[in-house]
Structure 1
Amino acid sequence: MAFNARKIIATTLILLSAGTVLPQASYALDDTQKQEIGDFIKEYLVANPEILLEAQKALKQKQADEQVAQAQAAITKNDKDIFQSPYDVTLGNPNGDVTIVEFYDYNCGYCKRALSDMETILENDKNVRFVLKELPILGPDSMAAHKVSTALRAIAPEKYGEFHRILLGGEDRANEETAMAVATKLGVSEADLRKKMAENTQDDAVKLVYTLANDLGITGTPSYIVGKEAVYGAVGAEEIETKVTNVRACGKTVC
């Protein structure tokens, strides 16, 4: 192979590994040169397969960085709807200096396990404001439970925290029947709940949460907002508490 072709390949590999966008070549290669370059690239990658792993790692990091940037822009854009929505219930300190927002589905197994994370955080930190946002994405049963939950929240918001803990912490699948049973056990009239459910045909609350989840890049539950950062998955109380500590120290989740 000609020296120039090798030089082109070497330069191309270096630029690609650095994530650089290559300009269109100012000259055309003939078929022989294209074949030589193709053979060289194949030979080089077979001899140095770790380059493919490095490229994959770089791609994942790039995608993660893009997701972070998208979420931060969405948080800034939707600040009021995320942190001060009239549809949400707040636990912990309503005047807390750091807010945690959780997106959850009552039939999400990871959300059920993460319930203890919320309890740990609220127990350990009396200056955290914890906002609950229902994101029913796991089928008709989740949506049915959400409709009961929304009605209870409108009628007796002071009982929502206990309702949330019982329904999410229960072993039975959440649906209209199980959600209604929890609500009535807490002393809320089933007739009143059904009346409110019939009135709330538009369900603006869930529409808003779906829109926020899409803007924030949330595709699963649980997901959180801590400060100005989106946190995806059940990462555990310790990691969230560390982020809260950092927000207090430097205004960011990572100082």
Structure 2
Amino acid sequence: MSNCNVYGGPLRGTGFVSFAAVMAMCFLGGHPALAAKSKTDDFTPEQVAAIGKIAGEYVASHPQVLLAANQRLQDERRQAQRRVMVQAALGHQKALLRNADTPALGPQTAKVAVIEFFDYQCIYCAKMAPLVDDVVTANPSVRFIFKAFPIFASRWPASQAAAAAGQAVWASKGAEGYRAYHNGLFATGKNEGNLATADIDQLLAVQGIVLDAQGHRTPDTYLAQIAANIQLGQALGLSGTPAFVVMPQEGANVDNTLVLPGAVSASQLQAAIELAGGKAK
């Protein structure tokens, strides 16, 4: 999993878990209950020392065991986190699916919706933009909803400016105008602090939109919409971009809804769409 987080770098795994937890997983078959029970068994200090020595020697000779156990624990934590995110998504379906202020492509009556949280300054979002657009083209019966989530706004003001401008394009030009702006901005290749106001203005000019016509760079209404996106993303437990929520627009549940934090492949996104549509293989 790769994505951009609020600190400006890629979001990786949580790091190595405690040695004791990993060793318990190694020698007790990966069962937390057995690991907990072992703490209540009676061992003499000499026996504890001997066990520790044996364990240390074994790990020194077989480091892959420690790495595998650590990976297994991290995978379990990641899955648990995603289950929590899915529950949060189910609790915020209206905000995810029924907000008319949110840019969207595809039919409103679509069976399946894909909601992307993104930042125009996120390098992983930029890398995924052509892939996402290909998936949009390949799935004309799916609703694609774009939630600008400018996590870099405090560091790079253009992050929020680009997000608000996108809202303006959506309000004035609709789906196709927004699609052109959205993909065009990512196609500049300017991210991680390199996007400038001039880049935004150039794309707005193509749409015939002038944001500062009355002396205001971004109308308050667009900033309020972005603030609502940020609040929603935080409610879902998102800390980075990109992130995807894939769910049916009716009858969503824990079995047909997925939250995918981080960059994903086209096949992963397509599989999530098929799951939400009841066509999973």
The structure with the largest alpha-carbon Rg is 1
TM-score by length of 2: 0.73
The amino acid of 2:243's aligned partner reads S
Residues 145 and 72 of structure 1: is their aligned pair in 2 closer, same or farther, counting only changes over 3 Å?
Answer: same
Secondary structure in 2 matching 1:22: helix
- 1:102 and 2:116 matched: yes
- In structure 2, what is the Cα distance between the partners aligned to 1:78 and 1:93? 20
CA 1:34–1:135 in 2, change beyond 3 Å: closer, same or farther? same
**Aligned-partner residue type, residue 74 of structure 1:** A
The residue correspondences of 1:235-246 to structure 2 (distance < 5 A) are 235-246=264-275
Within 1, Cα distance between the matches of 2:210 and 2:59?
69
Q: CA RMSD in A?
A: 3.0
CA separation of 1:12/1:144 partners in 2, compared to 1, >3 Å: closer, same or farther? Answer: closer
Matched with 2:11 is: none
Shift of residue 44, structure 1, vs aligned partner: 3.6
How do residues 190-229 of structure 1 correspond to structure 2 at under 5 angstroms?
190-192=211-213, 195=216, 197-200=218-221, 203-227=223-247, 228-229=257-258
User: Which 5+ residue runs of structure 1 have no aligned equivalent?
Assistant: 1-9
1:37 equivalenced with 2:51 (yes/no): yes
Q: Which moved more, 1:44-53 or 1:135-144?
A: 44-53
Residues 72-151 of structure 1: pairs in structure 2 closer than 5 A? 72-138=86-152, 139-151=156-168
| Residue of structure 2 in register with 1:234 after alignment | 263
TM-superposed CA distance for 1:142, in Å, is 0.9
Q: Structure 1, residues 107-140: CA drift from partner, whole Å, max 9, x if none?
A: 2232223222232222222211110111112332
Change (3 A) 1:47 1:108: closer
Structure 2's unaligned 5+ residue stretches are 1-22, 248-256
Q: Render the CA deviation track for 1:40-80: whole Å, top value 9, x for unaligned.
A: 33234334434312311221221121122111111111111
Shift of 1:28: 6.3
Higher percent of residues as helix: 1
The match for 1:168 is: 186
> Which deviates the most, 221-230 or 43-52?
43-52
TM-score normalized with structure 1 length: 0.79
The verdict on how the C-alpha distance between 1:104 and 1:230 changes in structure 2, with shifts beyond 3 A counting, is same
Match of 1:186 in 2: 207
Counterpart in 2 of 1:6? none
Superposed CA deviations along residues 130-168 of structure 1, whole A, max 9, x for unmatched, are 101111123322122223333443444453232222222
Number of residues paired by the alignment? 242
Which deviates more, 76-85 or 187-196? 187-196
**Greater RCO structure (CA 8 Å; 6+ sep):** 2
Q: Distance in 2 between matches of 1:27 and 1:19?
A: 15
* Alignment partners' CA distance in 2, 1:76 and 1:111: 24
Amino acid at match of 1:162: A
Offset of 1:88 from its aligned partner? 0.7
Residue-by-residue CA offset, 1:17-53 (whole Å, 9 max, x unaligned): 2233514845765543443333233234334434312
Q: Which amino acid letter does the alignment assign opposite residue 91 of structure 2? A: K
Assess, with a 3 A threshold, how the Cα gap between structure 1 residues 147 and 16 changes in structure 2: closer, same or farther: same
* Inter-CA distance 206–246: structure 2 relative to 1 (3 Å threshold): same
> Aligned with 1:231: secondary structure?
strand
Q: What is the identity percentage for the equivalent residue pairs of Structure 1 and Structure 2? A: 21
In the TM superposition, 1:23-62 aligns within 5 A as 23=37, 25-26=39-40, 31-62=45-76
Q: Aligned pair 1:248/2:277, yes or no? A: yes
Cα deviation, residue 224, structure 1: 1.1
**In structure 2, how many angstroms separate the alpha carbons of the residues matched to 1:48 and 1:162?**
54
Matched letter for residue 270 of structure 2: E
